[in-house]
Amino acid sequence: MSPETAEKLEKVKRYSTSLRRVFGFALAVVGAAMVVYLIMLVVTPGRFDAPINLLGIEYAGNPLEGTVGILAHVGTLLGLAVLLKFLLHLQKLFGLYAEGKIFAAENVRQIRLIGITLLLFSALWLLGAIEALVVVPSAETAAHISVRSAPVGQLILGTIVIVASWIMDVGREMREEQDLVV
């Protein structure tokens, strides 16, 4: 390895170590928020004092009970869980980079899982749309939930990340084959 390449690798390791810490901190904050949310649900069951916003449609009540409240709590918990998953994969990926593992099978796996997690955010939008239609089945609700509000960007980005991870995996396999031949 040339001195320039070694210097670049050390820089990647330093930045990756910092980013790993940032994502670890974010993971802890979101995890704590989820625990606090769950504790609040147990301590004050059946209460949801804040208005609920489902895809731009606001539902209010004091307290909101029944289907809307339950679905809102489940949606919030699912959103936090997907965010935790996203942050965890980023932390693991930058941890691998911090160790100097740049073209490893585990890196490709983490990148693929990040892409899948981006697709899960879109799935949450779809669940929210279905929830809004179930809670208030009306033409106004259906009109409000339009294709324009769909997370097309997340779908495209998630797909691109998954395809990029596949290409990286093919490149990694080719490199391993070449290393065996030489």
Q: Which pLDDT value is given to residue 65?
A: 56
Q: Which pLDDT value is given to residue 62?
A: 46
Which of helix, strand or coil describes residue 80?
Answer: helix
Per-residue pLDDT of 16-40, as tens digits, reads: 999 999 999 999 999 999 999 888 8
Residue 132 pLDDT more than 80? no
Q: Which pLDDT value is given to residue 168?
A: 92
Distance CA 105, CA 94 (A): 14
Entry pTM:
0.79
Name the nearest CA neighbour of 113 among 131, 96, 130. 96
Q: Which pLDDT value is given to residue 74?
A: 83
Task: Say which range, 22-36, 128-142, 143-157, has the weakest mean pLDDT.
Answer: 128-142
Per-residue pLDDT of 104-130, as tens digits, reads: 899 999 999 999 999 999 888 888 777
Distance CA 135, CA 58 (A): 12
Task: Judge whether 150 and 121 are in contact, CB under 8 Å.
Answer: no
The domain segmentation of the chain, as residue ranges, is 3-181
In the chain, pLDDT over 90 holds for what percent of residues?
45
Q: Which pLDDT value is given to residue 158?
A: 94
